Amino acid sequence: MKARYLDPWKINADLHSHSHRSDGVFAPAQVAQRAHQQGVELWSLTDHDELSGLAEAKSQAQRLGMRFVAGVEVSVTWANQTIHILGLNIDPDNQDLVTGLIQTRSGRTDRAREMSDGLASVGIKNAFEGALRFVRNPHLISRTHFARYLVESGRCSNTSEVFHRYLTEGKPGFVPHRWASLQDAVKWIRAAGGEAVVAHPARYGFNDTESWAFFSEFAEAGGTAVEIVTSNHNRDQVQHYSKVAQQFGLRGSRGSDFHSTEEPHIELGQVAALPDSVVPVWSDWIDE
Ligand code: AMP
Ligand code: MN
Ligand code: MN
Ligand code: MN
């Protein structure tokens, strides 16, 4: 019998979100619950460099009758810049991926201690210990945890301000870090049967030459999609990355990048629809 296909452009897909297994604030099951309440019909949990929330996310999604694909957001260093590559519809038990991610996140604690030293040099004491109070997964301390601590301690009024004043390049709490290579990240995701997707491309501030070089390398490495609709993309950027997808033969993805209800408040499932000109990366995943 021929399978009946849903219209992929009409489904509310949110394929980018975080739990407290990385730098989100909610447990995986709570994120599932919230996604479902917000009308998400196809959901992925994509914690940074981390797979440990996926089993809980999947079983809660199943309980709620919501479609789910396993995901991850891999930190990559390309041309001295940090780039995020989503792996979607992955097998979380794949050994290449599991080992690659262990390696990717292994430097985080030393980096955090150095960040803390940098902050101490401008009079902010014990930031490492402070940030740790916001960490739920000891393998995954991130800049976001420092940001929450600096807001809590009254240094700044919100996390964006913390990033701007303390945690970005050239600022006292910034520590350059080498993450996975683009080729390795895509290779691990492919080995795990997943699609590699460029997360929030507008955030990298590429000029035309860099953009061309990056997307060429990404496609050459086996990457297959780009996140076109996401919380920090405006309408022009959505149009722009739709064209980029067409130029490089990539599919498109959609995701809120939800972390919490505060930072800034981007709700699950509430970003715009993917334009008709792009093929959704999830087209093949939703047959009934
Ligand atoms: P890390 O992986 O430790 O470098 O932390 C990166 C995370 O910091 C991102 O995934 C975001 O959640 C958060 N982040 C980065 N830049 C900003 C910003 N300007 N404002 C708020 N959060 C940010
Ligand atoms: Mn994050
Ligand atoms: Mn990201
Ligand atoms: Mn993210």
pLDDT of residue 271: 95
Predicted confidence (pLDDT) per residue in 135-156, tens digit = 999 999 999 999 999 999 999 9
Q: Give, for 237, the enclosing helix (H) or strand (E).
A: helix 235-248
Q: Which atom of ligand 1 is nearest to the CA of 257?
A: 12
Determine the Cα–Cα distance for residues 68 and 96; give it in Å rounded to an integer.
22
**What distance in angstroms lies between residue 259's CA and the mean position of ligand 4's atoms?**
8
Please answer whether residues 60 and 28 qualify as being in contact, where contact means their C-beta atoms are separated by less than 8 angstroms.
Answer: yes
Mutate to test the pocket of ligand 1, among 83, 142, 168, 204 (most ligand atoms within 8 A of CB): 142
pLDDT of residue 262: 87
**What distance in angstroms lies between residue 26's CA and the mean position of ligand 4's atoms?**
14
Query: pLDDT under 70 in the chain at which residues?
Result: 1-5, 288
Query: At CA 45, angle to CA 189 and CA 77, rounded to 5?
Result: 45
Q: Which atom of ligand 1 is nearest to the CA of 177?
A: 4
Please answer whether residues 49 and 100 qualify as being in contact, where contact means their C-beta atoms are separated by less than 8 angstroms.
Answer: no
**What distance in angstroms lies between residue 1's CA and the mean position of ligand 4's atoms?**
39
What residue ranges line ligand 1, CB within 6 angstroms?
A: 23, 48, 75, 142-144, 159-160, 163, 259
**What distance in angstroms lies between residue 266's CA and the mean position of ligand 1's atoms?**
14
Bridging pattern class, strands 67-78 and 81-88: antiparallel
The closest ligand to the CA of 46 turns out to be 4
Q: Is the pTM of this model over 0.85?
A: yes
- Round the CA-based radius of gyration of the chain to a whole number and report it: 18
**What distance in angstroms lies between residue 207's CA and the mean position of ligand 4's atoms?**
22
Burial of 158 (0-12, 13-18, 19+ CB in 10 A): middle
Predicted confidence (pLDDT) per residue in 2-35, tens digit = 455 689 999 999 999 999 999 999 999 999 999 9
Closest-CA residue, ligand 1 atom 18, reads 160
pLDDT of residue 175: 98
